[in-house]
A and B are shown apart, each in its own frame.
Chain A
Amino acid sequence: MMSIVLAETASDPGFSAIHAWAMATAAVIAASCGLVGTLLVVRRMSLLGDAIGHAVLPGIVVAVLAGGRAGGPLVFLGAVVAALVTVGLTRVVRAAGGLAEDAAAGVVFTSLFALGMVLVGFAPPGTHIDAACVLHGELAFLPFDTVPVAGVDVPRAFLVGAIVLLGLVVSVLTTWKLQVFTAFDPAGARVAGVPVGLITMGLLAATAVATVASFDAAGAVLVVAMLVAPAAAAELLTRRLHWMALLAMLLGVAGGCLGYLAAWRCNTSAAGMIAVVLGVEYAVAAVIAPGDGVIMRLVGRARLSWRVVCEDILAALWRAEEAVAAPGGRHVSAGRLPAAWWLATSGRIERVDGGWRLSSRGRREAENVVRSHRLWEAWLGRHADVPIDHLHPPAEWVEHHLGSAMRERLQADMDARTADPHGREIPPEA
């Protein structure tokens, strides 16, 4: 679907090279944010990403006032310093005021952000910085500030974004195992000699750098979406950190491109639309995630109830055989006919005059269900103070969940008893 939209749009005469550059810029900064965001999310530091996203502002403004230009090294330096100051100040405020960490961070980053907003007022006219851009950025203007690279006019923002992405990928790759160890078990890592403090400072600096690269395009508020949403979505979809990082970058790029195109079509804020698309990506991930996703949970529940119905039919037929020693056909209630049909098709029961009868395969499975049921009743009766008329309901539920290993353990726990508390025989393992 995405390629159709891309093809349609690319052939649209209104979609010029300017838009292609803006879209490419969105893609590279989203990839940077996805990479850094992955490490923030698994370290439960997403809120810090938010704090840094805001707190770099005074650093940037001071750098601009000191003569730095947007996307220049001075601005990056200012932002990194501001990020580290934020974290340091948070610790000081926390220790001095006895505040909880989130409250301390809240006080520090909002104050620093406000300071930045005030300082913006002192910027001389003509400086490329203003209050509105600070909040939500403006992708559409970026392609007009270009630098010639090998004869092509490349937008400065794209160039900076690409260099930052390259730098981040290289630094994360070279320190990958240290990043993983520090994130998973900081105490263990420290004892093993990993420079945990340095690694953490590096991650904070990387967050600041990714934030600054995204600032002109996304602004202080929406950069948080780029940091957190793709990484959180990726965490739902995979259980290995390196795949998660890669997936977060891809989701970021996809969100950046689709969001930009959608915004261009609808003629609305590109950064806003990108953040909306990233939110939708997360929602989709939550629905389709393997294991814990909404769909998988529904499927799991449906499969369980289907198995319960099937096993109940088998057990009912087995009990009927037990009651009347001669096996004959038994009736199955109409509501359970689909399950009965399936059991017949898979060779567990067969049709005879007057209803259904267990096949030898079905009998084996039925025996284990009944064995589970009666073993559980016997175990509860012996090891827990449960009145005899209360034993049936828990066993009716547990009988579907005991494997052969568990049945063996229960049996071992009851010194070779062969009857349940109602006096009925516990069938042997089939």
Chain B
Amino acid sequence: MTEPRAGAPCVELHDVTVAYGRRPVVWNVDLTIDSACLFGIIGPNGAGKSTLVKAALGLVPLVGGEVTFFGRPLSQVRSRVGYVPQRESVDWDFPVNVTDVVLMGTYGRLGWFRRPGDRERRLARECLDRVGLADVATRQIGKLSGGQQQRVFLARALAQQADVYFLDEPMAGVDVRSQERIFRVLDELKAEGRLVVVVHHDLRTAAEWFDRVALVDRRLVASGSTAETLTPDNLRQTYAGHIDVLDDVGRAIAARERTP
């Protein structure tokens, strides 16, 4: 599709503020990720990590700022940007099987009306193999364990063959073996020169998994290489919860706009 502008960073968030309704929940985030790596977005529950990612992908409207991928708006580079939503965000009793879900990863490239053919099916099989699910290809998705369901989502993302991936809490409610498998695949993606951005809340594993991290708690606390960013001082600022001010200001904005 569209070639990247020379030297443009993979992902750039410029002064991004996101609100649910009228109440801002993430404030003025400036974040640039300019090369392929494993990037963790870390912060406590309710810090707005998922919201920030959803806003970057156009799922939640921005109230301020802008987001670009390879120097372009998302609408021009959709096929290069992959998204793995939280596992709980979909109904796993939905009447489709594992291969059906993985094939959805190819739909963006196929356009609106072309159907997946042999090439797509072969790709889907390869992706399932890569996440270790080749033997459940025809199983109904509701019959899988949580870890397997998460790997199906990962296989779907692989089938998209994107350059930037956003994964929302891929390790939540997932058994240790699936976690290791998922992490190995993410590491391979990085080795292939792709950027992998992961929303994650477990500090313990964050330090060993990610090359770079952003600490987020309703605003960006710090970002950079994992070793330099996960400092006691930064962590205290992220997890100590001294930002009632932002909450109160947000509430005040919402209240004032409701009763002019």
Asked if residues A180 and B96 are in contact (CB atoms below 8 Å), the reply is yes
Residues of B within 8 A of A193 (CB): 78-79, 108
Partner of B91, one of A178, A184, A189: A184
Q: What 0/1 readout, one digit per residue, does chain B (85-115) give for beta carbons within 8 Å of chain A?
A: 1000111001111001100110110101101
A285 to B78: give the CA distance in the assembly, Å: 42
The answer, yes or no, to whether A388 is at the interface (CB within 8 Å) is no
A313 to B215: give the CA distance in the assembly, Å: 60
The answer, yes or no, to whether A424 is at the interface (CB within 8 Å) is no
Residues of B within 8 A of A412 (CB): none
The answer, yes or no, to whether A238 is at the interface (CB within 8 Å) is yes
Partner of A185, one of B57, B85, B112, B142: B85
Residues of B within 8 A of A184 (CB): 90-91, 94, 96, 101, 104
Q: In chain B, what residue has the closest Cβ to A174?
A: B113
A189 to B108: give the CA distance in the assembly, Å: 9
Task: Answer whether A239 and B91 are a contact pair too, CB < 8 Å, given A180-B100, A184-B96, A192-B107.
Answer: no
In the assembled complex, 24 residue pairs joining A and B whose CB atoms fall closer than 8 Å, in A order, are A44-B91, A177-B107, A180-B100, A184-B94, A185-B89, A187-B59, A187-B89, A188-B85, A188-B156, A189-B107, A190-B58, A190-B59, A191-B78, A191-B83, A192-B83, A192-B105, A192-B108, A193-B78, A193-B79, A235-B95, A239-B97, A240-B100, A241-B95, A244-B95
Asked if residues A192 and B140 are in contact (CB atoms below 8 Å), the reply is no
Interface residues on A, range: 20 to 34
Residues of B within 8 A of A180 (CB): 96, 100, 104
Q: In chain A, what residue has the closest Cβ to B85?
A: A187
Asked if residues A240 and B97 are in contact (CB atoms below 8 Å), the reply is yes
The answer, yes or no, to whether B160 is at the interface (CB within 8 Å) is yes
Task: Answer whether A181 and B107 are a contact pair too, CB < 8 Å, given A190-B58, A191-B59, A191-B83.
Answer: yes
Q: In chain A, what residue has the closest Cβ to B60?
A: A187
A382 to B115: give the CA distance in the assembly, Å: 55
A18 to B110: give the CA distance in the assembly, Å: 48
Asked if residues B94 and A181 are in contact (CB atoms below 8 Å), the reply is no
Q: Name the distance in Å between B158's Cβ and chain A's nearest Cβ.
A: 14
Interface residues of A (CB under 8 A from B): 42, 44, 174-178, 180-181, 183-185, 187-195, 235, 238-241, 244
Residues of A within 8 A of B251 (CB): none
A178 to B54: give the CA distance in the assembly, Å: 21
The answer, yes or no, to whether B11 is at the interface (CB within 8 Å) is no
Q: Name the distance in Å between B84's Cβ and chain A's nearest Cβ.
A: 8
Partner of A239, one of B89, B95, B110, B115: B95
Asked if residues A240 and B78 are in contact (CB atoms below 8 Å), the reply is no
Q: In chain A, what residue has the closest Cβ to B140?
A: A239
Partner of A238, one of B59, B95, B115: B95
A393 to B229: give the CA distance in the assembly, Å: 52
Chain A interface secondary structure, helix, strand, loop or mixed? helix
Q: What 0/1 readout, one digit per residue, does chain B (63-78) give for beta carbons within 8 Å of chain A?
A: 0000000000000001
Residues of B within 8 A of A185 (CB): 85, 89-90, 104
A178 to B112: give the CA distance in the assembly, Å: 7
The answer, yes or no, to whether B116 is at the interface (CB within 8 Å) is yes
Q: In chain B, what residue has the closest Cβ to A41?
A: B95
| Cβ-closest 9 pairs across A and B | A192-B108, A191-B83, A193-B78, A239-B140, A185-B90, A241-B95, A191-B57, A184-B94, A187-B85
Partner of A181, one of B58, B89, B104: B104
A235 to B54: give the CA distance in the assembly, Å: 32
A180 to B110: give the CA distance in the assembly, Å: 15
The answer, yes or no, to whether B81 is at the interface (CB within 8 Å) is yes
Q: Name the distance in Å between A293's Cβ and chain B's nearest Cβ.
A: 15
A187 to B58: give the CA distance in the assembly, Å: 10
Q: Name the distance in Å between B236's Cβ and chain A's nearest Cβ.
A: 33
Residues of A within 8 A of B54 (CB): 187
Q: Name the distance in Å between A290's Cβ and chain B's nearest Cβ.
A: 11
Residues of B within 8 A of A183 (CB): 94
Residues of A within 8 A of B112 (CB): 175, 178, 194-195
Residue among B79, B104, B105, B113 with max Cβ neighbours from chain A (10 Å): B104
A188 to B108: give the CA distance in the assembly, Å: 10
Residues of B within 8 A of A238 (CB): 95
Asked if residues A178 and B107 are in contact (CB atoms below 8 Å), the reply is yes
Q: In chain B, what residue has the closest Cβ to A38?
A: B95
Q: In chain B, what residue has the closest Cβ to A198?
A: B112
Residues of A within 8 A of B96 (CB): 180, 184, 240-241
Residues of B within 8 A of A174 (CB): 113
Q: In chain A, what residue has the closest Cβ to B89?
A: A187
A134 to B27: give the CA distance in the assembly, Å: 53
Q: In chain B, what residue has the closest Cβ to A245?
A: B95
Q: In chain A, what residue has the closest Cβ to B138?
A: A240
Q: Name the distance in Å between A232's Cβ and chain B's nearest Cβ.
A: 12
Q: Name the distance in Å between B140's Cβ and chain A's nearest Cβ.
A: 4
Q: Name the distance in Å between A186's Cβ and chain B's nearest Cβ.
A: 9
Residues of B within 8 A of A244 (CB): 95
Residues of A within 8 A of B115 (CB): 176-177
Q: Name the distance in Å between A212's Cβ and chain B's nearest Cβ.
A: 27
Partner of B81, one of A187, A191, A194, A235: A191
Residues of A within 8 A of B90 (CB): 184-185, 188
A184 to B140: give the CA distance in the assembly, Å: 13
Q: Name the distance in Å between B151's Cβ and chain A's nearest Cβ.
A: 15
A42-B95, A187-B59, A192-B108 known; 5 other A-B pairs, CB under 8 Å?
A178-B107, A184-B104, A185-B89, A190-B59, A241-B100
Asked if residues A240 and B83 are in contact (CB atoms below 8 Å), the reply is no
A54 to B160: give the CA distance in the assembly, Å: 42
